[in-house]
Amino acid sequence: MKKYLIYLLLGFLVYSVKAQVPAPGKKASGGILIVNAILHDGNGRKTENAWLRADGGKITATGTGQPDEKSSAGAQKIDAGGSHLYPGFILMNNPLGLSEIEAVRATLDFQETGSDNPNIHTLPAYNTDSEIIPTLRLNGILTAQITPRGGRISGLSSVVQLDAWNWEDAVLKERDGLHLNWPSRWNRQGWWAEPSSAVEKNKDYQKQVDELRQLFSEAAQYNSVAEKSLNPKLEALALVLEGKVRLYLHASTSAEILASLEFTRSAGIKGSVLVAGPEVLDIIPYLKENAVPVILNRLHDLPLNAESPVFQQMRIPFELHKAGILFALDYEGSMEVMGSRNLGFLAGATRAYGLPEEDALSLITRNPARILGMEKTTGTLEPGKDATFFLSKGNALEMKGQELSRAWIQGREIRLESKQTQLYQKFGKMLSEGR
């Protein structure tokens, strides 16, 4: 009996080892030289027959045609064969690594109890062994902003690269920004599958706004005192008031958006980022005049109001682009973690509504990097930036074209496999054996 139990345990062990996410890649001993590629730099340019060199985890040179002897020296040469070379996609505003199975509460760790949690930050809870992460890497997402959810002040987000043994290895920016969910003026009934027309006024709206004002006022007073007892919540709010971290304002209607931005102005908070949906269409002149960056909620979603055009969401990127407003895309909403692998296809869909292809790519590469304050290290394929990029056999913004063949994060080549690819190989082998 003991022998059978040992065999059973060993079987489970072998299965669990096979099901683990891929181990982090190793840095190349020498340089990496990719030739014969269609290079999309993330800055709006597409270059045929291009080459790129990376050394020590950084891009060191790019060019067209064949690199000279000096540019090739000591590098591992990789012929892209006409494949497309892209900067790694950047996923904004997502609880990746904090949520595994939405229907299983024990796997969700993106929200703390209580309404105001400015001192909570996501990084220590980030799970590098999430089985969802490899599925995102297969679709070109190599960097992510890990964001808390819930409450009035959710907490502090972090920025990570998606190839790490643990959160200490993954971190690119430990405390990226504070996330504030602006109180709603109206309470809607129903859910996405059965929306209700019943809407009632939030009687506590003004009280909730006044509480926020009081909280930030206390933080300002706390920050002005030289010697004080440590208060983690006020300490975190002080980081925003000092401009050390950005404030991300999550708001819905245009009236709430304007109220939240006016709140930041009166509180002396600079550099806030708006996280919102279709209502930004109504306040584009205000956003342009005040240079407010925007993280645009999921485009493949229904409008907030039943009388709005069904494709209202899709025309927003073109309007924001035309106005010269800095904005990026996210995938917030139902099944947002598992579904965020489709981020590239959201960007691709904007082309059908007027956005040029290379500008569409910028919505998930350069623009997120600028909003995160990381444009000096990531987001585009330029010398001095991190060697975080991938090769795709076709257009990575299209479902029929996106097929990653190789990918690198900070110069480390990563394994492009997931639990799904392992299952595909397993049952493909079974079918080939005629079973």
Q: What is the pLDDT along the chain (435 residues), one digit of tens a residue?
A: 565 555 455 554 444 444 567 889 887 778 999 999 999 999 999 999 999 999 999 999 999 999 999 889 989 999 999 999 999 999 999 999 999 988 888 898 999 989 999 999 999 999 999 999 999 999 999 999 999 999 999 999 999 999 999 999 999 999 999 999 999 988 876 665 666 566 788 899 999 999 999 999 999 999 888 888 889 999 999 999 999 999 999 999 999 999 999 999 999 999 999 999 989 999 999 999 999 999 999 998 877 777 788 888 899 999 999 999 999 999 999 899 999 999 999 999 999 999 999 999 999 999 999 999 999 999 999 999 999 999 999 999 999 999 999 999 999 999 999 888 888 888 888 888 887
Q: Give the ranges where 27-93 is alpha helix by DSSP (H).
A: 69-72
Residue 89 structure tokens? 């996609």
Nearest to 351 by CA among 394, 396, 389, 393: 396
Q: Where are the domains of the chain?
A: 27-87+382-435, 89-378
Residue 246 structure tokens? 């950005």
pTM of the shown model: 0.92
Helix (H, G, I), strand (E, B), or coil: what is residue 105? helix
Are 142 and 89 in contact by the 8 Å Cβ rule? The answer is yes
Q: What pLDDT score was predicted for residue 135?
A: 96
Domain 89-378 fold is TIM Barrel (3.20.20)
Are 367 and 327 in contact by the 8 Å Cβ rule? The answer is yes
Are 90 and 364 in contact by the 8 Å Cβ rule? The answer is yes
Bridge-based pairing of strands 75-79 and 31-40 is parallel
- How far apart are the C-alpha atoms of 430 and 281, rounded to whole Å? 53
Q: What pLDDT score was predicted for residue 233?
A: 94
Instruction: For residue 259, give every residue at least 6 positions away whose Cβ sits within 8 Å of its Cβ, in sequence order, or none.
Output: 182, 209, 251
Nearest to 294 by CA among 248, 336, 339: 248
CB atoms within 10 A of CB 116: 19
- How far apart are the C-alpha atoms of 347 and 299, rounded to whole Å? 9
The burial of 71, by beta-carbon neighbours within 10 Å (0-12 exposed, 13-18 middle, 19 or more buried), is given as middle
In CATH, what number does 27-87+382-435 get? 2.30.40.10
- How far apart are the C-alpha atoms of 111 and 149, rounded to whole Å? 5
- Residue 299, CA distances (Å) to 124, 296, 316 in order: 30, 8, 9
- How far apart are the C-alpha atoms of 238 and 218, rounded to whole Å? 9
Nearest to 378 by CA among 161, 163, 158, 176: 161
- How far apart are the C-alpha atoms of 139 and 136, rounded to whole Å? 5
How does 185-220 read in b/e, with b if 16+ C-beta sit within 10 Å? beeeeeeeeeeeeeeeeeeebeeebeebeebbeebe
Bridge-based pairing of strands 171-181 and 153-161 is antiparallel
- How far apart are the C-alpha atoms of 18 and 24, rounded to whole Å? 15
Q: What pLDDT score was predicted for residue 26?
A: 86
Q: What pLDDT score was predicted for residue 15?
A: 44
What are the φ and ψ backbone dihedral angles of 381, each rounded to 5 degrees?
-100, 85
Name residue, tokens 């080892």: 17
Helix (H, G, I), strand (E, B), or coil: what is residue 198? strand
